[in-house]
Amino acid sequence: MNRRQFLRLAGAALGAGTLTCAGLGMLLTGEDRPDNPLPVGFPDLALGDSNEAKKILVAYASAAGSTGGVAETIGRTLAAGGAAVDVRPVQSVPGLDSYRAVVLGSAIHGGKWLPEAVDFVQANQDRLRRTPTAFFMVGMMMAKDTETDRNIVAQYLEAERALVTPVAEGRFVGALFPNHFPFMTGIGMRVFLAYVGVGLRGGDYRNPDAIRTWSATIHPLLNL
C-alpha cells in the first residue's frame, strides 16, 4: 500500500468516525490532557479594551472543544498585544460590521473545515474580502511535517481561499482520543494516528507556544 492509498484509507476511517460521533459533543477533560495548559471548550468572550470602537473577531468551529481552546488562546494573545477581541463560535456571530479584522478557524474533519465554518465564509465572503482576514486549522495531520504531508494539508482550504485570500494561515496540531469513540471507529482512528506518528492511544498535542507565536506574528497583518 502506497502513501496515498494509506492516507485515503485512514482519512476515510477518520471521516466516518467524525460523521458518526462529532454530534455527540464529547468534550475533552482535564484527565485527557494532564500536561497541556490550553483551555478546552466553546468560549464566547470579549477580551481587551471594551472602549475600542473596532474589534478583532476570532471566530471558530469546534467539535469537542480543543479548537475552541485554540481560538481562546489566539484571542488572549491578540488582546495582550493591545487589541479588543471577541472570541465567538461562528454560529453566534451576528455580523461583521463592528470588526476591523477577522481570524477564522476550524477543526479539520475528513480533510475539511467543519461545515459551519465553510458556511460562514460563503455567507460573508464579500465582507471578508474587504477585511483583513486570517485562517487557521486544527488537526492531527499537522503533526506529520514532511513536504508531501504539508502539501496535502495545504489542499484542505483550497475552496475557502478561492473565496477569500487570507493575510496569514495557521496550522496547529490538535487532539484526538480514539477511546472516546465506538470500537470500529477507534480502530480507524488508531490507523490514522499511527500514520501521523503520535502513538496509538492519541492525546492532546496542541502546542501553546506555537499558537501564541503565530497570534503575535499576525497582529500587525490584521491592522492593514
Task: Give me the amino acid identity at 148.
Answer: T
Provide CB contacts within 8 A for 188, sequence distance 6+: 10, 12, 13, 14, 16, 17
Q: Which domains does the chain have, with CATH numbers?
A: 3-223 (3.40.50.360)
The C-alpha atoms of residue 123 and residue 95 are separated, in whole angstroms, by 10
Please give the pLDDT value at position 32. Answer: 55
Judged by DSSP in three states, 99 sits in strand
Structure confidence at residue 37 (pLDDT): 76
Residue 33: CB atoms within 10 A of its CB come to: 19
Q: In terms of DSSP H, where are the helices of 38-114?
A: 66-80
Q: How much is the pLDDT for 87?
A: 98
For each of the chain's 224 residues, which pLDDT tens digit applies? 445 544 444 444 444 334 323 322 355 554 455 566 799 999 999 999 877 778 999 999 999 899 999 999 999 999 999 999 999 999 999 999 999 999 999 999 989 999 999 999 999 999 999 999 999 999 999 988 889 999 999 999 999 999 999 999 999 999 988 887 787 888 888 888 888 888 777 889 999 999 999 999 999 999 86
Closest alpha carbon to 171 in 200, 128, 141, 146:
141
For residue 92, the cross-strand partners are none
Length of the chain: 224
pLDDT at position 23 is: 29
Task: Indicate the SS3 state at residue 111.
Answer: coil
pLDDT at position 29 is 52
Nearest partner of 166 among 129, 136, 137, 134, judged by Cα: 134
Please give the pLDDT value at position 28.
55
SS3 195: helix
CA 86/CA 57 separation, integer angstroms = 5
CA 116, distance to chain mean position in Å, is 12
Read off the pLDDT of residues 166-200 as tens digits, 9 standing for 90 and up. 999 999 999 988 887 787 888 888 888 888 888 77
Say if CB 141 and CB 152 are below 8 A apart: yes
pLDDT given for residue 176 in this prediction:
86
